Amino acid sequence: MKAQPVAAFPIVLLALSSTVYAADTENGRRIADRWCTSCHVVSGRGSTTNTPGGTDAVPTLASIARDPARGPNWLRQWLTSPHPPMPDLSLSRAEIDDVVAYLQTLSR
């Protein structure tokens, strides 16, 4: 029965990593709704009616998500330090991961 603690160890690690690191697309959507849609329209169809604050001077979130040059790493980098005219929203790394995961769902 000496082996038991050893066998349990990876299971604890797995449980920890899934709660700490798994990006949450639902939370990403909430963050985006609150922090991004005052400037960015979400939908790629060009309608601004669902997001009154959005303008066509700013790329839609869907068009950003579909741009092959705007992969998850690029997006993380951008959201860590955006440049003008987009303000730095000071999102945490976990929030950025969630937003990036949410953006990936828009590209489908």
Dig out the tokens for 67 from the structure.
Answer: 């741009």
- From residue 14, give the alpha-carbon distance in Å to each of 77, 80, 93: 27, 27, 20
Tokens 């590209």 sit on residue: 107
What mask of x and - would describe binding to ligand HEC in positions 45 to 64, judged by CB under 6 A?
A: -------------xx----x
* Residues from 12 through 31 that contact ligand HEC (CB under 6 A): none
Dig out the tokens for 106 from the structure.
Answer: 């828009």
Judged by CB, which is closer to ligand HEC: 16, or 34? 34
Which residue type sits at 2?
K
Which one of 1-9, 12-20, 43-51, 74-82 is the stretch in contact with ligand HEC (CB under 6 A)? Answer: 74-82
51 closest CA partner among 59, 63, 40, 62: 40
Instruction: Please count the CA atoms within 13 angstroms of the CA of 44 that sit on its side-chain side.
Output: 11
Report how many residues bind ligand HEC under the rule CB under 6 A.
18
Check binding of 87 to ligand HEC (CB under 6 A): yes
Which one of 4-12, 14-22, 33-41, 42-50 is the stretch in contact with ligand HEC (CB under 6 A)? Answer: 33-41
Contact residues for ligand HEC, defined by CB under 6 A: 32, 35-36, 38-40, 58-59, 64, 70, 75, 78-79, 85-87, 89, 99
